């Protein structure tokens, strides 16, 4: 991945048109390298990109990486496209480029069907007027921290800084550090995870991107494992070798499910605060916007040395979760005209290893 100075250096000499075309492609690869560091559901990285002309990037969803049982509406995929676009936009500014983002260039998508047309077309233009975004420096170090947090409350003043980093007009931000409300949210979230894992196909998808051993993690450049939950190497070895192997878990999912629900309850109990993002509509464009706002909040949290982890289960779009979603909206006083797009815990914790990313070439299609 290029640094900011490296990515801007080649564009000083513009005498050779062929050389300039090649250099334009190089900056796109550099920006894609930053974009793919964005978070995605279970670190599935559901993006594919095409390079068009000398300065265009076309972003689409890789449907082979969308969990259809866990995410039947595709919400998580569109949120992930939003996080990708925000990283790309921030990185472009840092390199002196304006990223003109055209959402759904093939036309307004049908909200009831999977989208196979592009999510966005991005045209890059050199522009000396663009101002670097201070959040750029957080992109390489941002991480989803799944370990238990310290229990120290996140002050409301700090939550205000997170809110200011997002898009409060189109994507309202909510937050609580009230222990009683956090416990009520915890009870709903653990109930949601238990419902989620009670279905065999959803359980299979849940495990698909979970790396039970370090050996599994080394073979893949996606997903996440016990290391991102703060487990040391020795504990990871014994857990994967003797307690929960992929084979034993898939044969008998009940024990793993009980452990997952119990662990989630414990880490939510000790978080420093819970935040959420909502939108007035629930179209694909709202989900992309929410993803962009969330990435800015996540990057800001990282710059403030805050740990953060999204909590997806209670917002899932399948029928068995409708009641939980409704109760969560009521608990958080979300208006009936709005939809919760993201729920996350935040707080103070030691860093964990970052989740891996596939090679840039794996995302590029013709």
182 within a domain of the structure (yes/no): no
User: Residues 72, 73, 75, 78: is their CA dihedral positive or negative?
Assistant: positive
Sorted by sequence, the CB contacts under 8 Å of residue 117 that are 6+ apart come out as: 60, 104, 105, 106, 107, 109
Residue 135 lies in a domain: yes
First to last CA, the chain: 22
Domains identified in the chain, total number: 1
Residue with structure tokens 């995302």?
Answer: 363
Q: Does residue 122 form part of some domain?
A: yes
Beta strands in the chain (DSSP E): 47-52, 56-61, 97-103, 120-126, 173-176, 210-211, 224-225, 273-279, 307-310, 339-347
Range of the domain at 135: 4-140+355-363
Assigned domain for 315 exists: no
- Whether 287 is covered by a domain: the verdict is no
* Three-state secondary-structure class, residue 52: strand
Q: Is residue 85 domain-resident?
A: yes
Does 102 map to a domain? yes
Strand 307-310 versus strand 97-103 pairing type: unpaired
- Tens-digit pLDDT profile for the chain (366 aa)? 333 333 333 323 334 444 444 455 589 999 999 999 999 999 999 999 999 999 999 999 999 999 999 999 999 999 999 999 999 999 999 999 999 999 999 999 988 788 999 999 999 999 999 999 999 999 999 999 999 999 999 999 999 999 999 999 999 999 999 999 999 999 999 999 999 999 999 999 999 999 988 888 889 999 999 888 888 777 776 676 567 888 889 988 999 999 999 999 999 999 999 999 999 999 999 999 999 999 999 999 999 999 999 999 999 999 999 999 999 999 999 999 999 999 999 999 999 999 999 999 999 998
- Whole-angstrom distance, CA of residue 48 vs CA of residue 365: 7
Could you tell me if residue 184 is inside a domain?
A: no
Alpha carbons 138 and 46: distance in angstroms, whole number:
22
Domain with residue 12: its CATH number is 3.40.109
* The model's pTM: 0.91
Kindly write down the DSSP assignment for every residue of 269-327, as one continuous string: HT-SEEEEEEES--SHHHHHHHHHHHHHHHHHHHHTT-EEEE--GGG--SGGGHHHHHH
- Length of the chain, in residues: 366
What is the number of other CB atoms lying within 10 angstroms of the CB of residue 289? 24
């Amino acid at each position: 991945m290029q640094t900011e100075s490296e990515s801007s250096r080649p564009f000083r000499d513009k005498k050779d048109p062929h050389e300039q075309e090649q250099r334009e492609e190089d900056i796109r690869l550099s920006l894609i390298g930053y974009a793919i560091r964005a978070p995605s559901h279970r670190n599935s990285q559901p993006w594919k990109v095409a390079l068009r002309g000398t300065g265009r990037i076309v972003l689409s969803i890789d449907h082979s990486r969308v969990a259809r049982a866990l995410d039947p509406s595709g919400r998580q995929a569109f949120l992930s496209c939003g996080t990708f676009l925000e990283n790309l936009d921030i990185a472009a500014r840092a390199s002196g480029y304006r990223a003109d983002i055209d959402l759904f260039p093939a036309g307004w998508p049908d909200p009831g069907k999977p989208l196979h047309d592009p999510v966005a077309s991005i045209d890059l233009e050199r522009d000396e007027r663009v101002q670097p975004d201070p959040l750029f420096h957080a992109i390489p170090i941002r991480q989803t921290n799944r370990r238990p947090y310290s229990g120290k409350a996140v002050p409301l003043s700090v939550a205000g800084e997170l809110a200011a980093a997002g898009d409060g007009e189109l994507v309202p931000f909510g937050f609580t550090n009230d222990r009683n409300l956090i416990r009520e949210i915890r009870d709903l979230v653990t109930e949601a995870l238990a419902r989620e894992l009670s279905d065999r196909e959803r359980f299979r998808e849940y495990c698909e991107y979970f790396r039970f051993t370090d050996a599994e993690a080394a073979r893949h450049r996606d997903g996440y494992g016990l290391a991102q939950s703060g487990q040391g190497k020795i504990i990871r070895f014994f857990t994967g070798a003797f307690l929960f192997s992929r084979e034993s878990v898939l044969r008998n999912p009940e024990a793993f499910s009980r452990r997952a629900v119990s662990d989630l309850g414990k880490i939510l109990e000790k978080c420093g605060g819970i935040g959420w993002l909502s939108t007035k509509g629930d179209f694909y464009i709202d989900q992309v916007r929410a993803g962009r706002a969330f990435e800015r909040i996540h990057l800001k949290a990282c710059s403030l040395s805050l740990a953060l982890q999204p909590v997806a289960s209670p917002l899932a779009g399948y029928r068995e979760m409708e009641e939980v979603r409704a109760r969560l909206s009521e608990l958080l006083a979300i208006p009936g005209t709005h939809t919760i797009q993201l729920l996350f815990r935040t707080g103070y914790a030691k860093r964990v290893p970052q989740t891996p990313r596939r090679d840039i070439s794996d995302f590029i299609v013709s």
